[in-house]
Amino acid sequence: MKYDVAVLGSINLDVKALVLNYPERGQTALAKRINMLPGGKGSNQAVAAAKLGGKVAMVGMVGADGAGKQLLDDMNSWGVDTQFVKQSSDEGTGTFIVQIDQTSENTMVGTLGANAALQGDQVVRSLSEIEAPVLLMQLETSRDSVMAALRTGREKGMYIILDPAPADGFFEESLTYADCVTPNQQETERITGIKVTNKVEAIKAAKAIHHMGPSTVIVKLGSEGSVVLHEDDIYEIDSVKVKAVDSVCAGDVFAGALAVHYSQHGNFLDAVNFANKAAAIKVSKIGNHDAFPVLADMA
């Protein structure tokens, strides 16, 4: 079956709490609001790409539980094809607890659950039925599934965009298969050992990652924009200025927008600018998938 983007990644239930300040150890803090929302980097990126006009196939795993059904229903409602999402009878659906403070920054703790049970042979079988120019993936499923997707994507000639998140899940072998890698500042430091606080350091880090394998590197600097190393040239991309109220999912919206725009139009720098705008729209709104931009928002 033909798609614009295939996404391999995590599918989680997010329990999101809006707080004034993070509680200190041993303290209790009252939240302004708590919501249970669909999340997971893979699900987020797939929905972002679909809402921006892409035909998207999702590859992943949920538990055979109520949360898993809720998440599948959510992705289907946004137009993501979930026929390649497996259900585990042994592991529950991945769940994360997210705290967002008054500066819009977030911290998370959770369990991967069924995401970690996804097997490489299941991924290979799914990708064998999918024809798509772009494979978008992260590091929030089992290492076996990640490597199977990377190898299969390379064999099929897909353009592989790797969001090397979460930072704790990074392993260097993944870079040898990826065409494009999109780390944020924390992930960049995890990969290179370079603490990135400005664009000069970001350029140095991008070059270091490039030497590990990827032909294209995007180092994301949040409100300071990004540094792009593409076809041996360096580009400094400014961010789109907005009033930030919720930074959760901004990186996932960036990745989904980048993948679908590049898949459909083939101009990488245009895709980066498109992704920057999409992420900016997301941080200006509170919410998960319902707050992701659609094509009409990008005009």
CATH code (residue 133): 3.40.1190.20
Q: What confidence score (pLDDT) does residue 75 get?
A: 98
Report residue 83 as tokens: 């026929």
Quick: pLDDT tens for 19-31: 988 888 999 989 9
Phi, psi of 196 (to 5 degrees): -95, 115
Residue 293's closest CA among 51, 41, 45? 51
Question: Any residues with CB less than 8 A from the CB of 206 and at least 6 apart, and which?
Answer: 217, 218, 219, 227, 228, 229, 234
Rounded to whole angstroms, the Cα distance separating 159 from 164 reads 16
Range of the domain at 269: 5-22+30-298
Q: What confidence score (pLDDT) does residue 243 get?
A: 85
pLDDT under 50 in the chain at which residues?
A: none
Residue 94, beta-bridge partner list: 12
Q: What confidence score (pLDDT) does residue 104 get?
A: 75
Q: What confidence score (pLDDT) does residue 142 get?
A: 97
- Residue with token string 């039925």: 129
Q: Which residues does the annotation place in the binding site?
A: 12-14, 40-44, 140, 184, 220-225, 246, 248, 251-252, 276, 282, 285, 287
Rounded to whole angstroms, the Cα distance separating 87 from 101 reads 34
Rounded to whole angstroms, the Cα distance separating 166 from 108 reads 11
Percent above pLDDT 70 for the chain: 100
- CA-to-CA separations, 59 to 12, 81, 93, 195, in angstroms, rounded: 13, 9, 14, 33
Structurally, the chain folds into a number of domains equal to 1
* Nearest-10 crossing angle of helices 143-155, 120-128: 30
Rounded to whole angstroms, the Cα distance separating 123 from 145 reads 6
Question: Any residues with CB less than 8 A from the CB of 178 and at least 6 apart, and which?
Answer: 150, 160, 161, 162, 213, 214
Please check whether residue 59 is in contact with residue 43, taking contact to mean a CB–CB distance below 8 angstroms: no
Q: What confidence score (pLDDT) does residue 195 get?
A: 96
Q: Out of 168, 252, 270, 290, which one is annotated catalytic?
A: 252
Q: What confidence score (pLDDT) does residue 139 get?
A: 97
Please check whether residue 161 is in contact with residue 179, taking contact to mean a CB–CB distance below 8 angstroms: yes
What does the H/E/C string look like for the chain?
Answer: CECCEEEECCCEEEEEEECCCCCCCCCCCCCCEEEEEEECHHHHHHHHHHHCCCCEEEEEEEECCHHHHHHHHHHHHCCCEEEEEEEECCCCCEEEEEEECCCCCEEEEEECHHHHHCCHHHHHHHHHCCECCEEEECCCCCHHHHHHHHHHHHHCCCEEEECCCCHHHCCHHHHHCCCEECCCHHHHHHHHCCCCCCHHHHHHHHHHHHCCCCCEEEEECHHHCEEEEECCEEEEECCCCCCCCCCCCHHHHHHHHHHHHHHHHCCHHHHHHHHHHHHHHHHCCCCCHHHCCCHHHHC
Sign of CA dihedral 175, 255, 59, 2: negative
User: Would residue 252 show up in a list of annotated catalytic residues for this protein?
Assistant: yes
